[in-house]
Chain A
Amino acid sequence: MISALTNSRPQNMFAAFPSYFAPTNSLDAVRLLEQFNERAVILAGGTLTMPEINLGSSGREAVISLDRLGLDQIIIDDRTVRLGAMVRLVELASARALIPLHKAVASIGGPAIRNMATVGGNICARHPYGDLATLLLALDAQLTFSTTRGTEVVDLAAFYAAEDRPRRGRLILSVQFQLPASQEIVFRKLGRRCVNTPSIVTVAARVTRNSAGVVDRACVALGGVGDNPVRSYAAEEALTGKNLDDENIESAAQKAATGIAPLTDSYASAWYRSRVIPIQVRRALSELQAVAA
């Protein structure tokens, strides 16, 4: 029998493996998260948690599995899409209604990783992961949390901007967004490899234009440049109310990195990222430009 909820510390604090919990409802899950806080780690897809457990030196006391919470639903109602936190990336790839997400999903890992990794994991993962999250950020997605005080809805942008992450006792249940038309979005990832590569710079953008071809709304998100994906408000401002032409695209591209201090890691330096952000933004927006409004 899997030992369920307990208020005391697990008996063998330095046991070979942390204690394993698989709560069956989200209230139990958030109570466990509140109780253990940083001494626990969430097990979603396993792609980030299991390496820690395998090495055996994480110092965690508890692993909280989300397997039995029923978070694996894809619900599409008209154009509103709600993805459960435990939906695997492969299920997005095989959902015909979610074609606008397919390029982003295909850019993540290899087939086995896509079979295991989850939407929630991709949202919470730190750099260099989070390519789907970058697209969701450009789609103005919202997160629904379960907390000890009930459910909470938070804009993904606010989630990433908040300084107090991770927060105690809070679990992502689902992410929600309006499904865009394919011709409104673009996703472009620059890595060191063509296939199965971490990101150096990921650009995701959603640009809607009126019948005159003028941009009425632009949402531009950059991944790979910081701990989490960020919105490029400067690029958005440079596009809004303008035609999507070469000059405006170039202006938006040049401004895209404003206020963003990219990081240096083993893939690329901050210098390089700063250099290619405008290039990648320009190339992404040019892709959109080539599609009829």
Chain B
Amino acid sequence: MAIKRGQGIAAVNYPTGMNLGGDPTQALIHCTPTGSFIISLSSVDLGQGIKTVGAQIAAESLGVPVDLVRVDLGDTDTGPHCMGTFASRLTHRAGNAIIMAAREARNVMLEVAAEELEVAPEDLETDGVGNVRVMGAPQRSISVMDVALAAHFKQGRTISGRGIYMKPKSTPDPETGEMDPDSGHAHACTVAEVEVDTETGVVRVTRLVSSYEVGRAINPAMVQQQIFGGAFMGMAHALYETTAPYYPDPENAPKDWSEYILPGWGELVDMDSIILQRPLESGPCGAKGVGEMTANSPIAAIVNAVSDAIGVRITSVPITPEKVLRALDEVAER
């Protein structure tokens, strides 16, 4: 029995936004009488976390603590149009729409505060902990709650905002393929190390190292969640899962969780990772989309590591133990 070890790398990029654009998202913001802000979206949270990240972006743009901001989503009557959650688009599109809406709401908020404090709106700033204050004279301040009360009941103003982000639709040239497909790219590089049992063909991933350039990590812990989750899905793609184990033959298609082969708790790999930031000009606070990319670089890195370990390239995924043995047989024959 021989255990062979190998290392492989993969370096990739991933586009932000629906391909070719034309995928708008709108946001509405309004302020309650006591100074809370509601962001209305018809966007969808699949677990990637727009409910949190959207609130952070809004809070940053409004200049208020994130605890004062809530995201209300998923209703086509109350939420303005959103194209949907896919194509690593939502943080970028919704984030930008939120920023636009927040700026409008913030301007009104500062105007109301300015009237209360008897200064010009340009002389005001937010302190980020719930107050609006005069620049250079911070003791002259008013809480966001009092601003809201004044707006609603005294001045008759709406502290609200509307936002939309749309990358105009691009049409590819049918002959040359010239097109403008995306709003920017995130980047990733993964290094994988594997062990291969040359008698059974079983592959075990022993180490994963990854670096991700994401523009701006709006919420680093949530980016890290994508890193862990994506790597595991990448490993599943590279070595385990498929609906057609003998593709293109459709037979023996799995019917349940038992037959659909996924790695499990016994296949966990510890990961080292780093997040790099190169702010994207068009991104909300510089953010790029990251949710899909994290599964991609691990796949090719693992494939390259297996090929490195056994000394022959496997060009078909998922790399099952059978494919490993057949590849080793080929080497032995030569």
Contact = CB atoms under 8 A, between A and B. Distances in A.
A196 B264 contact: yes
Contacts of A268: 320-322
B261 A190 contact: no
B322 A269 contact: yes
B267 A194 contact: yes
Contact of A193 (B246, B252, B263): B263
B264 A194 contact: yes
Interface string A19-42: 000000000000000000000000
Contacts of A280: 200
Contact of B266 (A194, A269, A271, A276): A194
Interface string A179-203: 0000000000010111111100000
Contacts of A196: 264-266
B178 to A, nearest CB: 44
B265 A128 contact: no
Given A272-B321, A275-B325, A279-B199, A266 B266 contact: no
A287 interface: no
Interface in B195-213: 199-202
A52 B307 CA distance: 43
Nearest to B321: A272
B229 interface: no
A272 B323 CA distance: 9
Interface string A231-271: 00000000000000000000000000000000011111101
B330 to A, nearest CB: 14
A185 to B, nearest CB: 22
Given A190-B200, A266-B245, A269-B246, A198 B258 contact: yes
Nearest to A267: B261
Contact of B259 (A266, A272, A276): A266
A265 B252 contact: yes
A266 B252 contact: yes
Interface string A103-145: 0000000000000000000000000100000000000000000
Given A194-B267, A195-B266, A272-B321, A266 B261 contact: yes
Contacts of A192: 240, 261
Nearest to A272: B322
B120 interface: no
Given A128-B258, A264-B252, A265-B252, A197 B322 contact: no
B162 to A, nearest CB: 48
Most A-side CB within 10 Å, residue of B265, B267, B321: B321
A125 B76 CA distance: 49
A280 B1 CA distance: 11
B49 interface: no
Contacts of A197: 264
A271 B263 contact: no
Contacts of B252: 264-266
What band does the interface of chain A fall in when counting residues whose beta carbon is under 8 Å from B?
20 to 34
A190 B325 CA distance: 15
B172 interface: no
Nearest to B265: A195
A193 B258 CA distance: 11
Nearest to B202: A190
Nearest to A279: B199
B263 A276 contact: no
A114 to B, nearest CB: 15
B128 interface: no
A51 B265 CA distance: 24
A287 to B, nearest CB: 13
Contacts of A267: 245, 259, 261
B254 interface: yes
Question: Which one of A195, A264, A266 has the highest number of Cβ atoms from chain B below 10 Å of its Cβ?
Answer: A266
Nearest to B199: A279
Contacts of B245: 266-267
Residue from A190, A275, A280, A283 whose CB has the most chain B CB atoms within 10 Å: A275
B274 interface: no
B253 interface: yes
A193 B267 contact: yes
A194 B201 CA distance: 14
Contacts of B267: 193-194
Interface in B283-317: none
A283 B1 CA distance: 10
Contacts of A51: 256
A194 B203 CA distance: 12
Given A266-B245, A266-B254, A272-B325, A193 B266 contact: yes
Given A193-B263, A193-B264, A198-B258, A266 B325 contact: no
A131 to B, nearest CB: 13
Nearest to B241: A192
Given A271-B322, A272-B321, A279 B200 contact: yes
Nearest to B264: A193
A51 B255 CA distance: 12
Given A194-B264, A195-B265, A198-B258, 20 more contacts: A128-B258, A190-B200, A190-B202, A192-B240, A192-B261, A193-B263, A193-B266, A194-B266, A196-B264, A196-B265, A264-B252, A266-B260, A267-B259, A272-B320, A272-B325, A275-B325, A276-B200, A279-B200, A280-B200, A283-B1
The 5 A-B pairs with the shortest beta carbon distances in the complex, nearest first, are: A194-B266, A195-B266, A272-B322, A266-B259, A266-B254
10 contacts: A128-B258, A193-B267, A194-B264, A196-B266, A198-B259, A265-B259, A267-B259, A268-B320, A269-B322, A275-B325
Interface of A: 51, 128, 190, 192-198, 264-269, 271-272, 275-276, 279-280, 283
